[in-house]
Amino acid sequence: MKNNLFIISGPSASGKDTIIKELKKQGVKFQRVITTSTRPMRQGEKQGSPYWFISKEDFEDLIKEDKFVEWALVYGNYYGTQKKDLDRCLKTGQLVILKVDPQGARSIKHKFPSAKIIFIIPPDLETLEKRLKLRGKDSPESIKRRLEKAKEELENLNQWDYLVLNEQGKLDKAVEEVKRILKGA
């Protein structure tokens, strides 16, 4: 299979969404897979952007019906990639970008070995904490969980295909690097 599936992963608040948004702004042509979540919608979000927001019960029904390529419990909420959403993007033949947490990235790679994982590294845990607090979208408890998880996720960096450091104030550099990786596809 031609390699056109890229997984963007990394700890919470490492800058994955910002990088993806910037790629779009700069005219990079790609299909973004919309994944499904049971977490509450945040201000400014809507159905289908960035997730299909559904109830826990509906999510569990979809699990039973085997509708997911992968799913995970992340910070107490379900997140998953539905087969139909990934298939729809892959069928276009365009570059496909999927944003998932590191465990999701590993399971997708297992099923699609030619997919490439781009792991976004935040500068350091203090900056990550500041970003999480600044975006004001998560409770103190959720921030604590996200930071603990980030610490784990920043071990074993050699398991990923590409590493991109998203330094504070140097978003352009990270975006350029991701663009270079995508171009090499």
Which residues here bind ligand 5GP, judged by CB under 6 A? 12, 35, 39, 70, 72, 74, 79-81, 99-101, 103-104
Tell the smallest beta-carbon distance from residue 74 to ligand 5GP (Å).
4
Nearer to ligand 5GP, 4 or 82 (CB): 82
Nearer to ligand 5GP, 101 or 177 (CB): 101
Nearer to ligand 5GP, 32 or 99 (CB): 99
Nearer to ligand 5GP, 27 or 64 (CB): 64
Neighbours of 80 (CB within 10 A): 26
Tell the smallest beta-carbon distance from residue 94 to ligand 5GP (Å).
19
Q: Which residue is nearest to ligand 5GP (CB)?
A: 104
Tell the smallest beta-carbon distance from residue 72 to ligand 5GP (Å).
4
Cβ(101)–Cβ(74) below 8 Å: yes
Helices (H), the chain: 16-25, 56-64, 83-91, 102-111, 125-135, 140-153, 171-183
Indicate the angle between helix axes 140-153 and 125-135, nearest 10 degrees: 150
Q: Please name which of 97, 124, 178 lies closest in space to residue 14, comparing C-alpha atoms.
A: 124
Tell the smallest beta-carbon distance from residue 97 to ligand 5GP (Å).
12
Cβ(8)–Cβ(19) below 8 Å: yes
